[in-house]
Amino acid sequence: MRFLIVGAGISGCVCAYQLSRSRHEVVLIEKGRGVGGRMATRRMNGARIDHGAQFMTIRSARMKSLLSLWEGESAVIPWYDRIAGHPEIPIGIRYRGTTGMTDPAKYLARFFDKELNFFVERIERVETGWKIWERQGQFRILNADHLILAIPSVQILELLHRSSLYLPDEVMNGLKKIRHTRCIALMGLMENSSQLPKPGTFTHPVEEIDWISDNQVKGISSKPCFTIHASDYYSQQLWDAPDEERVPKLLEVGQDCLGTKITQWVSHRWGFAKPTVTFGSSHWHSAEWALTMVGDGFGGERIENAALSGWDGAESILQTIQNL
């Protein structure tokens, strides 16, 4: 069978990986230049910056089996399990990509075909499965026996709308109720190494900020560089404000915590950070529609749950095929 998976975040990559292991034809489609989605690592004047997800937990047996794969190829390593002087932070190993948070997705993506820089504009149900259209550029058109949507729920709804498709009422209602927090991120370069001790993080210094980290202390950058994540509250309040309004507070607190001057920065708006209301099951799958939907809006908060959602989705598909 031929599967098309839209979205190269961790849920799409794990789903594609599991399907490709069963020797099916798998093509992953992604609007961006690379894989990883919200597990994003960015280069800036020679520095490497994780500006989306910062670490992942590995608790379930399935995630542990992925960890063995990743560790076998040195794609993932432990980062920290506690922060000295902060007993309120739960103890437990946080893992990171060895050279950045995109590494685990990049590793999985070796095992299947990809179509990158491909924004899926429209999908159409055809007799043999699905037809998928690219928005612009090469105007690629692809066919599949079964389609997997591994994109955030708002983007699923937009895609369905553009495609004049309506899923059963209970599914549409489930998609409409999914909610994510927002996050304004600030990332950039510092004059010197920061004063943050290992592991190089500072959480919730003020109510406007959830997270500050030093990517050099983290171990992914040879140059001093930082990441700041504003809180959901601050991000919601200043979402549409210009940088001149929303950045000064982040710079001021950031420089204070980092103990050095920020010399260069860019901001980024994450429209879907962490799910606060989910669909109600780890994925949605329909043999009749030849359609499956996965992602953190189904699986729940954290990379681990998004990955498990992708895995569960693949398993439902494979079970359906077996029963044919």
Ligand X SMILES: Cc1cc2nc3c(=O)[nH]c(=O)nc-3n(C[C@H](O)[C@H](O)[C@H](O)COP(=O)(O)OP(=O)(O)OC[C@H]3O[C@@H](n4cnc5c(N)ncnc54)[C@H](O)[C@@H]3O)c2cc1C
* Positions in the binding site for ligand X (CB under 6 A): 6-12, 29-32, 37-39, 52-56, 119-120, 150-152, 155, 159, 183, 185, 229, 270, 273-274, 295-296, 302-303, 306
Q: How far is the CB of 72 from ligand X (least distance, A)?
A: 21
Q: Does the N-terminal peptide bond of residue 224 adopt cis geometry, omega within 30 degrees of 0?
A: no
Q: How far is the CB of 124 from ligand X (least distance, A)?
A: 14
In this complex, which beta carbon is closest to ligand X, that of residue 27 or of residue 29? 29
In this complex, which beta carbon is closest to ligand X, that of residue 37 or of residue 224? 37
Alpha helices in the chain (DSSP H): 10-21, 61-72, 103-108, 153-162, 169-177, 215-218, 232-237, 243-258, 296-299, 303-322
In this complex, which beta carbon is closest to ligand X, that of residue 23 or of residue 33? 33
Nearest to 163 by CA among 131, 118, 105, 124: 124
Nearest to 271 by CA among 183, 158, 150: 183
236 contacts: CB under 8 Å, gap ≥ 6: 182
Alpha helices in 73-207 (DSSP H): 103-108, 153-162, 169-177
In this complex, which beta carbon is closest to ligand X, that of residue 253 or of residue 306? 306
In this complex, which beta carbon is closest to ligand X, that of residue 115 or of residue 257? 115
Contact 125, 145 (CB under 8 A): no
In this complex, which beta carbon is closest to ligand X, that of residue 64 or of residue 261? 64
In this complex, which beta carbon is closest to ligand X, that of residue 33 or of residue 169? 33
Nearest to 38 by CA among 311, 316, 313, 305: 305
C-alpha span between 6 and 156 (Å, rounded) = 10
Contact 47, 215 (CB under 8 A): yes
C-alpha span between 69 and 98 (Å, rounded) = 13
DSSP annotation of 176:
H
Contact 19, 317 (CB under 8 A): yes
From residue 284, alpha-carbon distances to 19, 109, 147, 170 in Å are 16, 23, 12, 11
Q: How far is the CB of 3 from ligand X (least distance, A)?
A: 15
Q: How far is the CB of 210 from ligand X (least distance, A)?
A: 8
Q: How far is the CB of 320 from ligand X (least distance, A)?
A: 22
In this complex, which beta carbon is closest to ligand X, that of residue 8 or of residue 47? 8
In this complex, which beta carbon is closest to ligand X, that of residue 79 or of residue 224? 79
Q: How far is the CB of 36 from ligand X (least distance, A)?
A: 7
Q: How far is the CB of 248 from ligand X (least distance, A)?
A: 20
